[in-house]
Amino acid sequence: MAMAMNVSSLCFCVQSNRRFVNRVRAVASEEFTASKMKEDKVKLGGSDLEVTRLGIGAWSWGDTSYWNNFEWDDRKMKAAKAAFDTSVDCGITFFDTAEVYGSRFAFGAINSETLLGRFVKERKVKDPEVEIAVATKYAALPWRLGRQSVLNALKDSLNRLELSSVELYQLHWPGIWGNEGYIDGLGDAVEKGLVKAVGVSNYSESRLRDAYERLKKRGIPLASNQVNYSLIYRAPEENGVKAACDELGVTLIAYSPIAQGVLTGKYTPENPPTGPRGRIYTPEFLTKLQPLLNRIKEIGENYSKTNTQVVLNWLVAQENVVPIPGAKNAEQAEEFAGALGWRLNSEEIDELRSLALEIKPVVGFPVEKLSDNCWQKRAFVGRLIGKRCMLSIESLFPCGIQLEFPSTRGIRISNFVSVLVMMSLSYVGRAFEWFAEVQYRCRVPCVSGCHWHLPIDRKMLVGICGYPSYDLLVYCICLGVRTLPYML
Domains along the chain? 41-357 (3.20.20.100), 367-487 (no CATH)
How far apart are the C-alpha atoms of 51 and 48, rounded to whole Å?
Answer: 10
DSSP-derived 3-state class of residue 242: helix
The values of phi and psi at residue 260, to 5°, are 55, 35
Pairing of strands 400-404, 441-443: antiparallel
Rounded to whole angstroms, the maximal C-alpha distance in the chain is: 114
* Number of residues assigned to the chain: 488
Task: Kindly state the helix (H) or strand (E) to which residue 240 belongs, with its residue range.
Answer: none
How far apart are the C-alpha atoms of 323 and 362, rounded to whole Å?
Answer: 19
Burial 222-259 (b: 16+ CB within 10 A, else e): bbbbbbbbbbbbbbbeebebbebbeebbbbbbbbbbbb
pLDDT per residue, tens digit, the chain (488 aa), is 444 444 444 444 434 444 443 443 333 333 444 444 445 799 999 999 999 999 999 887 877 665 555 567 788 889 999 999 999 999 999 999 999 887 644 444 578 899 999 999 999 999 999 999 999 999 998 889 899 999 999 999 999 999 999 999 999 999 888 899 999 999 999 999 999 999 999 999 999 999 999 999 999 999 999 999 999 999 999 999 999 999 999 999 999 999 988 999 999 999 888 777 777 889 999 999 999 999 999 999 999 999 999 999 999 999 999 999 999 999 999 999 999 999 999 999 999 999 999 998 876 544 545 544 444 433 333 323 333 333 333 333 334 333 333 333 333 344 344 444 444 443 333 333 323 323 223 333 333 333 333 333 333 333 333 333 334 444 444 444 433 433 33
Q: Report CA dihedral (307, 311, 313, 315) to the nearest 10 degrees.
A: -170
Burial 184-210 (b: 16+ CB within 10 A, else e): bbbbbbbeeebbbbbbbbbbbbebbbb
Instruction: Name 191's Cβ contacts closer than 8 Å, sequence gap at least 6.
Output: 218, 220
Active-site residue (options: 101, 229, 440, 470): 101
Whether pTM > 0.85 for this model: the answer is no
Contact by Cβ (8 Å): 264, 306: yes
Burial 78-102 (b: 16+ CB within 10 A, else e): ebbbbbbbbbbebbbbbbbbbbbbb
Enumerate the β-bridge partners of residue 8.
none
Q: Is 101 tagged catalytic?
A: yes
Q: Which of 421, 418, 412, 415 is nearest to 447 (CA)?
A: 415
